Every structure is written in C-alpha cells, then in structure tokens.
Amino acid sequence: MKLSYHQINLNGTLYDLSTPVVMGILNVTPDSFYGGSRYQTEKDIAERTEQILAEGALMIDLGAYSSRPDGVDISPEEEMERLDFALKIIQKTAPEALISVDTFRASVAERCVKEYGVSVINDISGGIIDDKMFETVADLHVPYVLMHMRGVPQTMQQFCQYDNLLPDILFDLAKKVEQLRKLGVCDIIIDPGFGFSKTLDQNYELMHHLREFGIFDLPLLVGISRKSMIYKFLGGSPETSLNGTIVLNTLALLGGASILRVHDVKEAVETIKLVQKVGV
C-alpha cells in the first residue's frame, strides 16, 4: 500500500494521515439512501455519535440534505434547522468530536463553522452549485473536501458522458484545486465522487485507476459505503452491501485512500489495520 504522509489541520491540531482514518456517517435526513444511516431523534443522534467515536472514527460526517437522485430538494433554512438540532446534541454528547458537515451551500457552511466550530466542509458539488463556496471556505480556514460531480443531485445521472473519463475528471479537479490555492485554502481533500455523475462501469473504472489521483499530492477520500455500485452489480440492497463495501474499501486503501467515509466504522477501522499489517 502506498502510504500518504499528508497532514490536515483540524481545529488547530495537525493530524497525520500516514495511517488512513475513518469518517463516520451521521445523516439527519428522512430520505438518505441507506435506512440504517438516518438518525432524527435526540436519543438516536446521541447514540450514533457515541458509536462512531467508540468504534474508532477520527471524525463524524454530518449530513442534513439527501444527495440521492430522487431526494427532496430542501431549502437552506430547513437544512440549517436540521443541522442546528443535530450539532447541539453532538456538542452536548461529545464536545471533543471533530465534525465534518456535508453541505454544498456556502451560507450553511459558514454558520456551521462560526457557530459550532465544525472542522471540515464536505461539498459534494465541488463548488459548482454555490459559487460562493470556495471564497467562504478560504475565509473560514477549514479543510475542504473537493468532490467531483456534474449537475445537481436531482440531475447528476444525466451527466455521465465523458470524452475520456479519468483525464476529464482529473482536469476538472485540477482547475478547482488551482482556484482554491489562489484563494488561500491550505487543506484540500480530493474525492473522486463515486456514484455521482458516473455509471456503474465508470465507478469501477475509477476504482481501477484510483492511484492516478495521487497526481495532486493531496489526501484522498473515498466514499463507496453501501452504494448502488455495489448492490446493482451484485444484487441486493444497501442493507446487504456491507461485504462489498469492505472489499472496495480494501481496494481503495491499496489505491492510496487516506480517508474512508463509511456507515460501518468498526469494519472500516479493522480493514485499515489489516491492510497495514500486511503492508502491501
């Protein structure tokens, strides 16, 4: 396994990613694609927070907007209302927790960082939905997950036509990395965007060429947990896709992933330990 020696600054502390880390998913939506990831009551959010941290995740990725293609497009106000509710519970339950907020809206990102001390902004749109996002994260001085996607969640699967898949995606990300650097964003994390504006076969082509994303010399986040690229190929559903997730996370680590974004934290932590033990 090719090790990453990157560091990210989370709330003033440098974290070494030479050993890959886990980002545990906590969704406060009623319609996320995996039913097991939806937490809406105070008790459920608190228990999920404790579980993610107890099982060894470095950070919690909190989402309040479902990015599934048939998800409901809620307003920024409703998204923030959901986040307000959850962030207060997380802070009460685990004030030391490092939190990433999954949002493509600059105004939401700003409030989460300024009012709750959120550590990371995870933008599925890579700045294409809200053109203020890049300037906002630069002003906030927080790490930014730059994901590749085309269109918006409701239309993204209409934009899977590429002249040449890997070069097109790398070029698109490279342009955005340059924009972010010019604005002064120091901590950029690359996410290839598995499942976003990609067909099933394109997702596997990206996984096969994952090492190519090392060209950026930036931390690489992979989020394939229980996604349709697994269950549409093998059969089943998100609920039956844990084994496929573990296999693909193993391949992602071999391809240079520094961060695994997952629903199943314990299994991902164990996967990292085993891959590192083998030392391939």
Q: What angle do CA 161, 163, 165 make, to 5 degrees?
A: 75
User: In 3-state terms, what secondary structure has residue 24?
Assistant: strand
Contact 13, 187 (CB under 8 A): no
Catalytic residue flag (residue 261)? yes
Distance CA 233, CA 42 (A): 36
User: In 3-state terms, what secondary structure has residue 157?
Assistant: helix
Q: Is the dihedral of CA 209, 156, 225, 272 positive or negative?
A: positive
Question: Looking at 227, 232, 266, 273, which residue is catalytic?
Answer: 227
Contact 119, 99 (CB under 8 A): yes
Half-sphere exposure of 178 (CA within 13 A, CB side): 6
Contact 246, 267 (CB under 8 A): yes
Question: Looking at 111, 176, 226, 261, which residue is catalytic?
Answer: 261
Catalytic residue flag (residue 227)? yes
State the catalytic residues.
227, 261
